[in-house]
Amino acid sequence: MFLYCGIACRRKFFWCYRPLSTYVTKTRYLFELKEDDDACKKAQQTGVFYLFHGLAPLLQTSAHQYLAPRHSLLELERLLGKFGQDAQRIEDSVLIGCSEQQEAWFALDLGLDSSFSISASLHKPEMETELKGSFIELRKALFQLNARDASMLSTAQALLRWHDAHQFCSRSGQPTKKNVAGSKRVCPSNNIIYYPQMAPVVITLVSDGTRCLLARQSSFPKGMYSALAGFCDIGESVEETIRREVAEEVGLEVESLQYYASQHWPFPSGSLMIACHATVKPGQTEIQVNLRELETAAWFSHDEVATALKRKGSYTQQQNGTFPFWLPPKLAISHQLIKEWVEKQTCSSLPA
């Protein structure tokens, strides 16, 4: 593709242009689709659609995994026609990405109330039969999806949920209007622009040098422990949230912290998980669990955590009445954070 970047570099007496990489071309294309309604409408003609119903994605089962089927605009129009729905409903769809070949990906919820249709939710079982799949709650399906589908469906669900919850301007009370891509909504009466939001959440793995601290909320599946998590309060930096959450939940003071990685997380309604390692002073490790937030918290050795990382989620009660200790699945950033800690500990204990 003969696309050249706008920033030219001057060498001796002539201008030379650097061809744009596939990645840059793709991001520029997505940017254009968000800014230009006509370009985005055109992209729908050759794009594909992922379908949802009441925020549950349409999935098909294949060898213990879920797959997210894709539909063309033509197939979608045919489906809506068959169920007596207005094809204008497609205007509710949101842009969620594109391939390297610039095939645009959209998501559409057929079950949420729409200005173009009010009875779509009545057809759910018939639609499932027609589409040869089921609309399955994302919470149940997330860990049986491949990483690409999991990430895309999480983004799609968060965006669809945001649009559903921002149908009206909070100042004028008038209906807001989304742009074609769904990257914003505007109130026609006062031109206030609303952009999709997500909540920043810190997730911290606290260590005392040899052990790490893991906790459970009563809502977690039996036996599962995770790192400490908490929403950022308004006005806080990430560092301040980590110090406050660790103090609030387990009564310890953080000595040092180090950023690890981040992840978009679709629950409860679209969060940016910011994962960090933190340490406490070796002598100051007595946990005081805040029982309003946590069921329990404890220090775990390297070997206990390394064994638990290999264990798949299990709800089977053991003979002594307890449940096996296990950790969140690979897809969750908490798993990756804990795994990195185990690997670092293993390296530091190897003889030099």
Ligand X SMILES: NC(=O)C1=CN([C@@H]2O[C@H](COP(=O)(O)OP(=O)(O)OC[C@H]3O[C@@H](n4cnc5c(N)ncnc54)[C@H](O)[C@@H]3O)[C@@H](O)[C@H]2O)C=CC1
Binding site for Mg ion (CB under 5 A): 229-230
Is the Cβ of residue 59 or residue 202 nearer to Mg ion in the bound state?
202
Q: Which two tokens stand for residue 303?
A: 């070997």
SS3 301: coil
User: How many Å separate Cα 300 from the centre of its chain?
Assistant: 28
Q: Which of Mg ion, ligand X, none lies near 333, with the C-beta cut-off 5 to 8 A by kind? A: ligand X
Q: Which two tokens stand for residue 44?
A: 């729908």
- Closest separation in Å from C-beta 297 to Mg ion: 10
Q: Which of ligand X, Mg ion, none lies near 226, with the C-beta cut-off 5 to 8 A by kind? A: ligand X
- Closest separation in Å from C-beta 126 to ligand X: 33
Instruction: Return residues touching ligand X (CB under 6 A).
Output: 199, 201, 203, 226, 229-231, 263, 265, 267-268, 271, 273, 293, 328, 332-334
Q: Which residues contact 319 (CB under 8 A, 6 or more apart)?
A: none
Taking the C-alpha atoms of residue 212 and residue 210, their distance in angstroms, rounded to an integer, is 7
Is the Cβ of residue 187 or residue 332 nearer to ligand X in the bound state?
332
Is the Cβ of residue 130 or residue 295 nearer to ligand X in the bound state?
295
Q: Which of Mg ion, ligand X, none lies near 313, with the C-beta cut-off 5 to 8 A by kind? A: none
Indicate left, alpha or beta for 63 from its phi (over 0: left) and psi (-120 to 50: alpha).
left
Q: Which of ligand X, Mg ion, none lies near 231, with the C-beta cut-off 5 to 8 A by kind? A: ligand X
Indicate left, alpha or beta for 262 from its phi (over 0: left) and psi (-120 to 50: alpha).
beta
Is the Cβ of residue 33 or residue 153 nearer to ligand X in the bound state?
153
Taking the C-alpha atoms of residue 275 and residue 33, their distance in angstroms, rounded to an integer, is 31
Q: Which of Mg ion, ligand X, none lies near 199, with the C-beta cut-off 5 to 8 A by kind? A: ligand X
Is the Cβ of residue 169 or residue 273 nearer to Mg ion in the bound state?
273
> Quick one: which H or E segment has residue 149?
helix 147-165
Is the Cβ of residue 143 or residue 168 nearer to ligand X in the bound state?
143
Q: Which of ligand X, Mg ion, none lies near 334, with the C-beta cut-off 5 to 8 A by kind? A: ligand X
Pairing of strands 199-207, 271-279: parallel
SS3 274: strand
